[in-house]
């Protein structure tokens, strides 16, 4: 089997109970959808509770309406699984574009950089231990 995937993916790194995703350049629609799937799978499959997801977009020059919707859906999915999502490193031009498009990105918290995003997650309520039902 070839080690190179036909569909590239964005790495999702675990930093304790936080997942970190760093976006670089243009994120094509299929890659954005794959990222949404990968983050959800990582939250569900984690041995310990994932308290938060930090998505670093400092390397992104443009966020279109599709990517904005995917980011909001990532936040909504994470929230359903008791995790907060913080968008970090938004460039001023990206913020202006989002406002011009009328995108509010519900459920997403924002921070100026990754360090502040991690600090913000640390200030939020403490996670509730994951309980696994057995037998019933």
Q: Is the pLDDT of residue 127 over 70?
A: no
pLDDT digits 0-9 by tens, 8-64: 688 999 998 999 999 998 888 899 999 999 999 999 887 778 999 999 999 998 888
Q: Render pLDDT for 73-99 as a digit per residue (tens, 0 to 9).
A: 999 999 999 899 999 999 999 999 999
pLDDT single digits (tens) 26-41: 888 899 999 999 999 9
Which DSSP string do the residues of 80-135 spell out, in sequence order? HTT-EEEEE---HHHHHHHHHHT---TTEEEESSHHHHHHHHHHSPPPPPP-----
Q: pTM of the entire structure?
A: 0.83
Which CATH number belongs to the domain containing residue 57 in this structure?
A: 3.30.750.24
Q: How many domains does the chain have?
A: 1
Residue 20 domain boundaries: 12-123
Alpha helices in 19-64 (DSSP H): 29-45
């Amino acid at each position: 089997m070839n080690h190179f995937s036909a569909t590239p993916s964005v790495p999702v790194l675990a930093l304790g109970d936080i997942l970190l995703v760093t976006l670089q350049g243009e994120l094509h629609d299929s890659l954005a959808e794959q990222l949404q799937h990968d983050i959800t799978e990582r939250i569900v499959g984690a041995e310990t509770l994932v308290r938060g997801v930090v998505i670093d977009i400092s390397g992104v020059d443009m966020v279109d309406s599709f990517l904005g919707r995917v980011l909001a859906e990532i936040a909504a999915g994470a929230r359903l699984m008791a995790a907060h999502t913080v968008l970090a490193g938004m460039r001023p031009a990206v913020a202006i574009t989002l406002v011009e498009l009328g995108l509010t990105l519900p459920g997403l918290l924002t921070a100026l950089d990754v360090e502040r995003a991690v600090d913000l997650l640390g200030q939020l309520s403490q996670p509730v231990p994951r309980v696994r039902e057995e037998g019933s």
